Structure 1
Amino acid sequence: MKTIIGNDGARPVNSTKILSPVPPASTLTIDHVSIKIVCQYGKLQMAKISRSSDTAHVTYLTPEGLKEARAELEFLKNEKRAQVADRIQKARELGDVTENAEYDAALDEQTLIENRIIYLEDVLRSAKVISHPSGSDFVVIGSTVKVEMDGEVDEFTIVGKMEANPGKKRISNESPVGQALLGAKFGDVVEVSTPIVRYKVKVLQIK
């Protein structure tokens, strides 16, 4: 407990309810990434992350991946955003928002949704659609490659990082294996380098 001295004399208060003077909103920018912080009642209400338009980058997507990204963005903006806004409004009606778990949970969900929307919009702005190459003499993004590693034969497709899924044999072009294989030809042996190990990979087939 703490004591506050006011015009009406000293009175004890619960220290957990003392709200620090936090600005209602502020923006921090680091390496072209903006983080907008919004506070209310001394609590963090939203941390929205966005990327400035002058950052040059490309997101590689298959036609299927592009379609899925557009569909998810449409759902989040046209349906999910409204659902969460309604949830927040109902939580406000329950009473004091400074001690309202439902309100806090709804705000957390809103933050996740808004950040996902920003991410998907960024992906679609920078998207470069890749096709399934046929008859290519060397490995490119979109190639399905059969390789030999440590005496074992494996096969996977190289895709952009957004669609990477090792469980489905889809590896990112930015992964150590993906980077090492890009540009390789049939019969080439490339070296894959990671922070803890290096190993050789032989290209057996490109399709």
Structure 2
Amino acid sequence: MPTYLSAQALEDMKKELEYRKETERWEISEKILHAKEMGDLSENFEYQTAKEEQALNETRIFDLEAKLHDYVLVQDEVGAKQIGLGTTFLVETEGKQKTFSLVGSSEANPIEGKISNESPIGMAFLGAKPGEDVEFEAPSGSIKYRIISLS
């Protein structure tokens, strides 16, 4: 399944991948080399920590490369008539207005109002138009939103 990315997320991922491959790898290998010089590796906390850090870094590199190998670039649609990937929209619920952006799962950050197209709320908003009501089931119960506008 492809990863849906905005142009900014694509650029950020490429930068992170380059940093992890060219800088982070080298820094971790230096830590491992330094820890090896300290002697017995079986009880060497610095060595074990550096090896764990190396494994996490390599896992992240693998993850980034996989996402960058199979992605779909999502363009912001100016003048869109319904909510789709890349759309930023204003909603109202219980008299309060909120702004959301519908993004791919790798960009999702609910605190910033970026909701995944794969989440229950994201799937509920997908295809909705201004003036429509959207309802979805949250753990706390049913939540209803009115779509105010798209931008």
> Per the shorter chain, which TM-score range?
over 0.9
Asked if residue 90 in structure 1 is aligned to residue 34 in structure 2, the reply is yes
Deviation at 1:165, TM superposition (A): 2.0
Q: What is the identity, as a one-letter code, of the residue corresponding to 1:102?
A: E
Q: Which structure features the higher share of strand residues?
A: 1
Q: Which structure features the higher share of helix residues?
A: 2
Deviation at 1:177, TM superposition (A): 1.7
C-alpha separation in 1, matches of 2:34 and 2:84? 51
Partner of 2:143: 199
C-alpha separation in 2, matches of 1:196 and 1:155? 21
Q: Secondary structure at the match of 1:161?
A: coil
Specify every segment of 5 or more residues in structure 2 that has no aligned partner in the other structure, as ranges.
none
Deviation at 1:147, TM superposition (A): 0.6
Which of 125, 130, 143 is the matching residue for 1:181?
Answer: 125
Q: Secondary structure at the match of 2:86?
A: coil
TM-score, reference length from structure 1: 0.69
TM-score, reference length from structure 2: 0.94
Asked if residue 159 in structure 1 is aligned to residue 103 in structure 2, the reply is yes
Q: Secondary structure at the match of 1:153?
A: strand
Which of 8, 33, 44 is the matching residue for 1:100?
Answer: 44
**Identity of counterpart residues, as a percentage?**
38
Partner of 2:71: 127
Q: Secondary structure at the match of 1:98?
A: coil
Q: What is the identity, as a one-letter code, of the residue corresponding to 1:160?
A: G
Matches within 5 A, 1:3-14: none
C-alpha separation in 2, matches of 1:128 and 1:178? 18
The number of equivalent residue pairs is 151
Partner of 1:171: 115
Of structures 1 and 2, the larger Rg is shown by 1
C-alpha separation in 2, matches of 1:180 and 1:153? 17
Q: Which consecutive segments of 4 or more residues in structure 1 shift more than 6 A?
A: none
Matches within 5 A, 1:1-40: none
Higher relative CO (CA 8 A, sep ≥ 6), structure 1 or 2?
Answer: 2
Deviation at 1:168, TM superposition (A): 2.2
C-alpha separation in 1, matches of 2:139 and 2:90? 24
Q: What is the identity, as a one-letter code, of the residue corresponding to 2:105?
A: K
Matches within 5 A, 1:36-115: 57-115=1-59
RMSD: 1.2
Deviation at 1:157, TM superposition (A): 1.1
Specify every segment of 5 or more residues in structure 1 that has no aligned partner in the other structure, as ranges.
1-56
C-alpha separation in 2, matches of 1:195 and 1:171? 16
C-alpha separation in 1, matches of 2:121 and 2:89? 11
Map Cα deviations across residues 154-207 of structure 1 (whole Å, 9 max, x no partner): 112111122222232222222222111001111111111234421111111112
